[in-house]
Each structure stands twice: as C-alpha cells, then as structure tokens.
Amino acid sequence: MEEASLESALIQLLPKILPSAVTSKIHAFRGKTDLLAKLPNRLKGYQAWLPPDWKIVILIDEDREDCLKLKQQLELIAISSGLITKSSCQKDKSFQVLNRIVVEELEAWFFGDVEAIRQAYPKVSTNLATQQPYRDSDAIKGGTWEALERVLRKAGYHPGGLEKYKAASEISQYMNPALNRSKSFQVFYRGLLESIDRQQV
C-alpha cells in the first residue's frame, strides 16, 4: 500500500471486512514512486515462499493518472514476478495478487461515506452528500484531499491544514464498507471478499 494515511484507514477497515479468523499485515511505502520502484523485488521475494492460502493486495492512488495504464503496470510487475493476479487467473481459480486503484485518492473513499465524516466531525453540513460536487465521490474535481480539507476547515476542523493521517484514522473508524458509495472502494471491497471466498473453496 502506498502511504501512511491509507495504512491508518485500513487498520480500521480491514476488521470490518475480513472474518475474525483471517489475519492481515500492512506494509506502507513512501508514496507511489517508492512503491512502484520497490514492488518488483518485493514480489519476487514473496513468490519464493508465499503459502497457497495467502493473498497480496496492492493499493495505489490514481492521482489523476490513466487508471488502466496504472493497473496494467501493476499487473505486469506481479506476473513478471511469477505470481497469479486476479485479472490474469482463470475463472473459479485461486489468485495470489489483487491489484486495486484508489480513484483518485483515499479521500474519495471518505466522501463515499459522508455519514462517517459527519460522525467524526459533527459540525460538517448535514446535506454534504446531496451537494452537487460530492454526489459522485470518485469524480470530485480539483483533488479529493483538497476538497476534504475545504469541507473540514469550513466546519472549523483542521484549521492549520488537513492532517491526512489523523483524518484517515478519525473517519475510517465510522465507515460502513458495505454502504460506501465510492465505486473504487466497492471494487476493492468486493475483491477482498472474493479472495476470501476462493480461499475457502
């Protein structure tokens, strides 16, 4: 996974998605460049010893890049390392790597659950979810973290600027994964559930 704020969110979210018998470990990188540079060798190392019932989930922000090209890049890195990705495996067969893109940034997932934002920050407008700029959380213009910063500062929070790690922790604890309106979050969510189902086949 790409960065510390995403790690902070996943620490809260994974226990809500995964059965209690499933354990997980999170590895954060120092941004997208660091992840893409280190991923080939990291995956080659995993390929040498990865148990058959383990899954690797790679999460990276789109950051206004071409989503399909970024996904293809991740797929190629994993396949070149000798691992089977969800996109490359045959139907009903087990995969080892799930590549997922956060469109366009982690904060889009937060806007997908406005109720969680409001529980963490009660002074945020009650009609935020119905306001035109925020109806489609994956299509927010001008950057989602900037949008979240504007919303929170307007409500009197994070006056010195958005503390991304702190906000991620505070919002994600209230998120309901099954009800999140972000399409990219739902793709990630369903991918995790499918990896568990196939593991149990």
pLDDT (tens digit, 9 = 90+) per residue, 51-72? 988 999 999 998 888 899 999 9
- For residue 200, name the pLDDT band (cuts at 50, 70, 90): very low
DSSP sequence for 61-117: E-TTS-HHHHHHHHHHHHHHTT--BTTTSPTTS--SEEEEEESS-HHHHHHTTHHHH
DSSP string over 164-181: HHHHHHHHHTT--GGG--
Q: Each residue of 100-131: pLDDT tens digit? A: 999 888 999 999 999 999 999 999 999 999 99
Q: Distance between CA atoms of 182 and 198, rounded to whole angstroms?
A: 24
